[in-house]
Amino acid sequence: MTEHVTVPRELLWEYKEAPNNLLWRLQRIADFFPACGTDRNTVRLLYKYRDKLKLEEGKYKLVGIYYEVWSEKTRQRN
């Protein structure tokens, strides 16, 4: 897994391209989660850095739930 995440174009209204800063990218995605950012890698990174992001309590818990689901799916495949 990489420490890179792609911000959807529709979330870059004031930027031509997303800044090359992982926390900025994750915060932008977190602001619109779960409408975007529910893929395995993005959820893993949101979970890993959740204490460094500004998340409402509900989104904080929701990221944790998504992380648990992805982890469970991964375990089931092995």
Q: Which residue has the tokens 């375990």?
A: 75
Q: Give residue 50's pLDDT band: very low, low, confident or very high (50, 70, 90).
A: very high
Q: What is the pLDDT of residues 5-30, one digit of tens each?
A: 999 999 999 999 999 999 999 999 99
pLDDT, position 73 = 84
pLDDT of residue 78: 60
Domain ranges in the chain are 9-77
> Does pTM top 0.85 for this prediction?
yes
Taking a C-beta distance cutoff of 8 angstroms, is the pair 1, 37 a contact? Answer: no
| Sign of the alpha-carbon torsion through 24, 28, 33, 36 | negative
The predicted structure's pLDDT at residue 74: 79
Helix ranges (H only) for the chain are: 22-31, 40-48, 57-77
